[in-house]
Amino acid sequence: MWMQRGGCPHLVESTALLVAAILSDARETRARRSAGASSYAIRAAYAAAFSRFVTGLLDGQQDKQRKMSMYSIAKTIGLPATFVELRHQATHEQLPSLSKLRTAAKKALAWIWDYYWKNLPGGDGADGGSGADQGKPDACRSLLLRYLAEGGEEAVDKKQLRRWDDTVLLRNLAEIEDASEDPKIISRCLRLSQAILDGDFSSSSSSLPVVKRGAENVSATTKKLDDVKADMQALDEELEAVGTVEVKPRDVEMPTQKKSLNQVRGWSRYEGPWKPKPIGVV
């Protein structure tokens, strides 16, 4: 029904297709035990659901201006590279084995849960997980406080923070910075805010990457400026030393203004009596 209405999120569709393949596998397994049927149809159902999940997810992250490989996009969003390899095998080569496809489907559902379902706001699950926590007004603030207290080293917290809008993150960071008296928390708030504004927080795997790279760039630039200043000072000293040397007049040869007649090129007036010469005589 949801697929017919349109606008269904891709991960919701992928979850439905993978679960449908698992349920069909369970039914066909019971039927094959009595009839001895082949498992090729179940392998094809697993392969189609898994390939559609990986291809649709990575194509949605593709940059329209610059074509990127599936491996690079998978690395950016945290998708295992084995998913891309299995998708390529199921699409262009022989179908993988049934046991391999079963394991891949379970891993895919677990990854979708951590990446999408668990982080949905407004969830009211029975276990009171992070999906329910993110529906609260102070859920983002609590997650940011834990992330800042740990120094940005927890990858799970950072992955959850990426699900929030940048505006919400910046607003909560500003509130934490104003209310906190800890210099470390204030410094980390400023660095994380700068990373979000520069757009590197969602694409980098290291903690607070922009500030670290910025500090390295500043130190490198300062070192280059010091080297340039030293070179300029050395050149100034050399120019001053050259300026103190006296130039002797005898060392300079002045060009002669008068040139001999043999050096004059072009037409000139012949001086002297005219002497006729036969043609061909030099």
State pLDDT tens for residues 8-49: 888 889 999 999 999 988 888 777 665 555 788 899 999 999
Q: Taking the model in full, what pTM does it have?
A: 0.45
What domain count does the chain have? Answer: 2
**Does 122 reside within a domain?**
no
Mean pLDDT computed over every residue of the chain: 73
- % of the chain at pLDDT higher than 70: 65
97 and 73 together in one domain = yes
96 and 9 together in one domain = yes
How confident is the model over 184-213, as a mean pLDDT? 65
d(CA 188, CA 278): 105
71 and 173 together in one domain = no
Question: Among 194, 211, 228, which residue terminates a domain?
Answer: 211
95 and 7 together in one domain = yes
pLDDT at 148 over 80: no
Question: Among 182, 211, 240, which residue terminates a domain?
Answer: 211
Question: Among 56, 80, 115, which residue terminates a domain?
Answer: 115
SS3 content of the chain, % helix, strand, coil (to 5): 65, 0, 35
d(CA 90, CA 81): 14
d(CA 150, CA 120): 24
- Which residue range is the domain that position 139 belongs to? 130-211
Per-residue pLDDT, 206:
45
DSSP 225: H
What are the tokens at 226?
Answer: 């010091």
97 and 46 together in one domain = yes
**Residues 42-90: tens digit of each pLDDT:** 999 999 999 999 999 888 877 777 788 888 888 888 889 999 999 999 9
Residue 41 half-sphere exposure toward CB, CA atoms < 13 A = 10
C-alpha distance from residue 218 to each of 179, 215, 224, 228 (Å): 30, 5, 10, 15
- Closest residue by Cα to residue 195 from 207, 184, 183: 207
How confident is the model over 169-182, as a mean pLDDT? 77
**Does 252 reside within a domain?**
no
15 and 107 together in one domain = yes
26 and 96 together in one domain = yes
Per-residue pLDDT, 274:
77
pLDDT at 236 over 80: no
**Does 250 reside within a domain?**
no
Are 169 and 196 spatial neighbours (Cβ–Cβ below 8 Å)?
yes
SS3 assignment, position 274: coil
d(CA 158, CA 151): 11
**Does 165 reside within a domain?**
yes
105 and 149 together in one domain = no
**Spatial CB neighbours of 151, under 8 Å, sequence gap ≥ 6:** 188, 207
Per-residue pLDDT, 205:
44
Say which amino acid occupies 149. A
104 and 204 together in one domain = no
69 and 104 together in one domain = yes
